[in-house]
């Protein structure tokens, strides 16, 4: 098999088996770095940093970057489309299924259990971001001083943006993200 088709196949596999969001593709990309000479482990570290620092879903960013490293622009396109293809098909099949069975009591019961679970997952995700973005737990553990619990500047920005999100309901999230970026550059 040509190397290019192999790249498509590897990203198709990642798209098929990486369950639970973009970060789940990471182990697959690490494996590719070990098994092929398309890119190195150091490239992967750089890919993670770049994918986090640029807009777009993380998994898609990683695939585009990895594909580009391997085979230039055709590689970027091939890797990204191969990654997305399995979920494209699966989601359409599920959507068809749900259209048919959304009134089925077992399906409704399944969602009755799933909805609170997702709320729990979102809260856990929020906590992990909050720890990185606002809190300074390692320093607090070292000193035990309450004022070391959070980065004061970050805490002020957080409270300001939170109050604004409730006060000014017309402002779209994009504006908050832009404001966050700007405040970050100015004060952090």
Partner 1 sequence: MTTYFQLFVSFFKIGLIMFGGGYAMLPVLEHEVVDRRGWLTGEDLIDLFALSQCTPGVIAVNVATHTGYKKRGVLGAAFSTLGVIMPSLIIITIIAAVLNNIADIPAVQSALSGIRIAACALMIKTMVKMWKNGIRDWFGAVIFAAVFVLTAFTEVSTVWSVLGALLIGILSFHSEREAEK
The position carrying tokens 């585009």 is 64
The CB-of-186 to partner 1 minimum distance in angstroms stands at: 8
Q: Give the residue with the Cβ less far from partner 1, 119 or 137.
A: 119
Phi first, then psi: what are they for 104, rounded to 5°? -65, 130
Q: Give the residue with the Cβ less far from partner 1, 113 or 144.
A: 113
The position carrying tokens 């359409």 is 92
CA quadruple 50, 55, 59, 60: dihedral positive or negative? negative
Phi first, then psi: what are they for 103, rounded to 5°? -95, -5
Question: How many C-beta atoms lie closer than 10 Å to residue 66's C-beta?
Answer: 30
Q: Give the residue with the Cβ less far from partner 1, 5 or 129.
A: 129
The CB-of-3 to partner 1 minimum distance in angstroms stands at: 18
Q: Give the residue with the Cβ less far from partner 1, 7 or 18.
A: 18
The CB-of-22 to partner 1 minimum distance in angstroms stands at: 5
Cβ-Cβ contacts under 8 Å for 46 (sequence gap 6 or more)? none
Q: Give the C-alpha separation, 183 to 91, whole Å.
A: 38
């Amino acid at each position: 098999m040509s190397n290019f088709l192999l790249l498509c196949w590897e990203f198709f596999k990642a798209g098929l088996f990486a369950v639970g969001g973009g970060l789940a593709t990471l182990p697959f990309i690490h494996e590719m770095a070990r098994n092929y000479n398309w890119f190195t482990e150091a490239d992967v570290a750089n890919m993670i940093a770049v994918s986090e620092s640029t807009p777009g879903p993380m998994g898609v960013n990683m695939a585009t970057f990895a594909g580009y490293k391997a085979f230039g622009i055709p590689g970027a396109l091939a890797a990204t489309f191969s990654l997305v293809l399995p979920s494209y098909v699966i989601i359409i099949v599920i959507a068809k299924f749900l259209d048919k069975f959304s009134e089925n009591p077992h399906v409704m019961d399944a969602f009755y259990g799933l909805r609170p679970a997702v709320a729990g997952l979102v809260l856990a995700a929020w906590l992990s971001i909050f720890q990185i973005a606002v809190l300074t737990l390692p320093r607090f553990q070292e000193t035990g001083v309450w004022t070391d619990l959070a980065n004061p500047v970050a805490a002020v920005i957080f409270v300001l943006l939170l109050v604004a999100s409730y006060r000014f309901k017309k402002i779209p999230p994009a504006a908050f993200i832009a404001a966050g970026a700007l405040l970050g550059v100015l004060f952090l």
